[in-house]
Structure 1
Amino acid sequence: MKLRVSDIKQYIYCPRVIYYQYVLPVDRKITRKMEYGRQEHLELDRLEKRRKLRRYRLTEGKRCFHTHLYSSRLDLEGKLDMHIITDKGLFPVEFKHTGRKISLNHKYQVAAYAMLLEDNYNTTVRFGFVYLNLRNEIIPVEITPGMRQYVRQILTKINWIVKEEVLPEAPRRKNCCTDCEFRKFCGDVG
């Protein structure tokens, strides 16, 4: 089954999102936050084309926007916000509309995109970036062997949830439920 990079991000946020997307598909409520984030992505694209790469601690390179990537090895696809091609290597960049610090699910989303770039360009990706636009901060993310292994484990778990039609346990941290588009379907979450 072909999965999306966003599934990895969602699984880390809450595994139940996977269940409601694949096993028991329900109408998704597009939240105000989601719509605003979509509009912000368009504005970031426009601004990023004019900026210098110095913000990424790079001197020169080529920016590529909204690249569709697929790996038959991982059976994974995604549309990367941006990647930078330099003499030093490839660097995936994910734009996030948040004033908070970088989240674990953002780091692993970048790691998954790094793996897709590796398969598509037949190279090794050592670093990526998360651009937190409300903080105007670019966070480097080192792509480690452990991160690659964890991405593969998550893909296995997602496939298991879908194949076995298993509703995962509710997340321990309930703050992620506040803005969840599937909140009304989880009867055991307050």
Structure 2
Amino acid sequence: MIKVTDIKQYAYCQRIIYFTYCMPVQPRQTYKMQNGQERHDRNEELEPRRTLERYGLEEGEKRFGVRLSSPELNLKGEMDMMVVQEGNYIPIELKYTNRQPGINHKYQLIAYCLLVEDQYQTKINRGLIHLIPPKETIEVELTPGLREEVKEIISGINEIIATEKMPAPTSDRGKCRDCEYQNYCGDV
């Protein structure tokens, strides 16, 4: 099974999928990655004490590190947090950034929503991305179009793995500067 984080990576640069599954290499950990992991770990310690108000919610049960999988989607992942309100499920992704979430983060959240729907046999209309430093919560509506885009990405990832063909580099070469796989791309 592929991982939900692969969907985020595919949207960022498809070559990351190639280097992860077809030519497994040990990427170097960048400063951004290390710093992000440290902040994520610290947030996990603090989150149980926080109220749901920060997410615009009044009540519900917080669940952390929710592991999900779907053989039908060929997808698995561990969600940061989910709030359960009387049979309703609200996936929440926590991001340590001051920037608005990119489409890759929205795709990641939507993939978790699809997994929740499959595993809990329910229908989800929205998910939340919480930006930690500015304490801002963005609601992401699960539209039919976005659902389909995520399913197409899953197909694209599976195709890269099956064909073992290296995809073209990202058109945004600025992404290459901080990429942990930069040393393996000989043409950028």
Return the TM-score normalized by structure 2: 0.96
Greater shift in the superposed pair: 118-127 or 133-142? 133-142
Q: In the alignment, which residue of structure 2 is the partner of 1:70?
A: 69
Aligned pairs for 1:1-190 (under 5 A) are 2-87=1-86, 89-189=88-188
State how far apart, in whole Å, the 2-side matches of 1:81 and 1:159 are: 24
Structure-2 separation of matches of 1:44 and 1:139: 18
Q: Percent identity?
A: 42
1:179 deviates by 1.0
Once residues 113 and 51 of structure 1 are traced to their aligned partners in structure 2, the CA distance between those partners, rounded to angstroms, is: 22
Does the Cα contact within 8 Å between 2:54 and 2:135 map onto a contact in 1?
A: no
Q: Secondary structure at the match of 2:35?
A: helix
Amino acid paired to 2:94: F
Q: Which moved more, 1:159-168 or 1:83-92?
A: 83-92
In 2, the alpha carbon distance for the partners of 1:184 and 1:135 equals 34
How far the C-alpha of 1:100 sits from its partner, in A, is 1.5
Q: CA RMSD in A?
A: 1.2
Of 110-119 and 180-189, deviating more is 180-189
- The C-alpha deviation readout for 1:65-92, integer Å capped at 9, x for no partner, is 0011001110100010001001372111
TM superposition score normalised by structure 1: 0.95
Give the Cα–Cα distance (whole angstroms) in 2 for the partners of residues 28 and 188 of structure 1. 17
Unaligned runs of 5+ in 2: none
1:55, 1:89 → 2: CA distance? 18
